[in-house]
Structure 1
Amino acid sequence: MKLSSILNFCILVFFTLLFVNDFFPATTLAEVLSKKIILVILIVLVIIQITTAKGTYKRLSKKAYVGVTLYTVGLWIVLSLLGGESQFGLSFNSPIFYIIVVLLAFDLLRVYRQSKNEETEKKAQ
């Protein structure tokens, strides 16, 4: 496996742990890995990823962008349905939740339209 793939996977795992830690702060996971420790690990992983990229900028593919977006919202919903209560204030009762979901839906629609336009342009050539 490539180092960038391993780093991306580790970032996703620690991002998930951060969410779980926020929704279920009374678990043993939260006692072992506090939010601060997870954030420090995430920052270090992102810095390592940036430095190993050696100045090359690689955009996230549209499929990966959609996947990460749906994963984040899905994780938020699943953790709420499991009875977790966010310490940060993320909940179904919060208007922020619905604002974020609507904004993400518009953004995903934008990405979909953009990919359709690119396909049309490729066919025209």
Structure 2
Amino acid sequence: MKTKSFKPKIESVYQIQGFVKKKISTFNSNENKLLKIDLLIEEIVLNIVKYGCKGIENSIIDITIETSDGNVILEISDNGVAFNPLDQEEPDIEAGLDKRRPGGLGIFLVKQIAKEIQYVRQDNKNIIRLCLDL
């Protein structure tokens, strides 16, 4: 298990993606799966940066990675505003663009990519735990 902390900045998205790629590079994961993991990280971390930790002093994003049985367990935690992505209403992806409510597609994509998602609010932190197939 490896944990690293990052400042909630847009630039951190790329740093976190690099950190995760380096950790899982020993697996024979195909490029398509790596791109999906990059997308998942981008969606979650950008939401944290733009909404969760905005204006909160000393905010931090912690990334923990562990591997088990061909899976990556990725834990993303932040000390921002409480937000459970699993409680969000699913977007109507069948509706035309002019009929859709804004937002929600990022969380929808994360749910499509991850094998399993868990959320808990603990010690004033949002903790999202994702199981990803390699």
Q: TM-score range by the shorter chain?
A: under 0.3
Structure ID, larger Rg? 1
Greater per-residue helix proportion: 1
Normalized per residue, the structure richer in strand is 2
